[in-house]
Amino acid sequence: MDQQGSNQTIRILGIDPGLRRMGWGVIDFDGVRLSYVAGGTIVSDAKDSLAERLAALYKGLNAEIERYAPDEASVEQTFVNKDAKATLKLGQARGVALLVPALHGCLVAEYAPNMVKKTVTGSGHADKRQIHAMLKILLPKAAPDTDDAADALAIAICHGHNRRAARVLSAF
C-alpha cells in the first residue's frame, strides 16, 4: 500500500555493497505479491586504483537504475570488522550504493544483515544456502549469478516488507 492506503506496485532495488562485487536486484512489490524483475553483480577490477573502482561501481549501478527505474532502494548495512582499512573501503563502496539511487530521487533505506535474513528466511542467523532456498520459493524466476546478487534480492524483499516503517523513520 502506498501512503494514501491504496494498492500500488512499487519497484524496489536492493543493493549488497562491496568494493570487489556489488550485488543488485530489482523486484516489483504490490503489498502482497513479489515479482522478480532483474538482478546481477557489478564487478570492479582489483588492479585499478580505488578511485577507478568506485567510478566503475558508480557507472554500473547508475546504468542499472536507468534501465530498471526503481521507485525505492534498499542497502545492506555493514558491520565494522577488525581490519580498519577493509572497513573503510567497504564504507566507500556503501557511499556509492547510497548516493546513486538518491541522485535518481529514490527513497533509500538501510537494513541490518540479521533483519534481512530474518525477513526472508525467518531466522536472523540464516546462511547463504538458506537465503538461496527461500529466493527460489519467493522469486521462482530469479536465478542469481552470485551470492551478492542473491543477497541484493533478499535486501529488496526485506524493504518490501518493511518499507512503511522505513518511510516513517526517514522522516526523522
How many separate helices (H) and strands (E) can be counted in the chain? 5, 5
Residues labelled catalytic: 16, 76, 148
Written as one string, the DSSP assignment of 47-97 is: TS-HHHHHHHHHHHHHHHHHHH--SEEEEE-----S-HHHHHHHHHHHHHH
Q: What is residue 13's three-state secondary structure?
A: strand
d(CA 135, CA 152): 11
Taking alpha carbons only, the member of 43, 39, 65, 66 closest to residue 53 is 43
Contact criterion met (CB below 8 Å) for 107 and 74: no
